[in-house]
Amino acid sequence: MMINYASEEDFDYIVKRDKHILVSLVKRKIAEQEILILRNEQNQYIGWMRYSYFWDNTPFMNMIWIDEPYRSKGIGKGAVLYWESLMREKGFRLVMTSTLANEAAQHFYRKLGYKDAGCLLLENEPLEIILTKTI
């Protein structure tokens, strides 16, 4: 697997698949190096990761997506560990993410050492679990 910061060439791939971000924000996030692109050995897209900063000072993984044929092969784990190492190199010691309480992703993050740190309850939505990890 290859992981690189997204570039303008990746814009169409991202906006066609990531329905959780305004299209108008994608170019800014690419320019700020806040999207990582995952590719296989044949240089084909297999997923992406998008992050931001909680309170403007704590890296927060907003979204990780692995295309269906590549799931359960350790790619997501590798991508998260890679992102954590990037954040450590930038001087951060804590990272965050969240997942809905009705999603299996909470177990994935806990296996990687993330700990429950709180929750958010929005009207007519499942509980959002906030997770943190000291890196």
pLDDT value for 39: 97
Q: What is the CATH number of the domain that holds 95?
A: 3.40.630.30
Q: What pLDDT is stored for residue 61 in this prediction?
A: 98
Q: Give the model's confidence band at 51: pLDDT under 50 very low, under 70 low, under 90 confident, else very high.
A: very high
Tell me how far apart the alpha carbons of residues 57 and 60 are, in angstroms, rounded to a whole number: 9
How confident is the model over 14-26, as a mean pLDDT? 91
pLDDT one-digit tens code per residue, 98-133: 999 999 999 999 999 999 999 999 999 999 999 999
Give the count of domains, the chain: 1
Separation of alpha carbons 21 and 104, rounded Å = 22
Find the domain containing 10 and state its range.
2-134
Mean predicted confidence (pLDDT) in 58-67: 96
- pLDDT tens-digit map of 2-16: 999 999 999 999 999
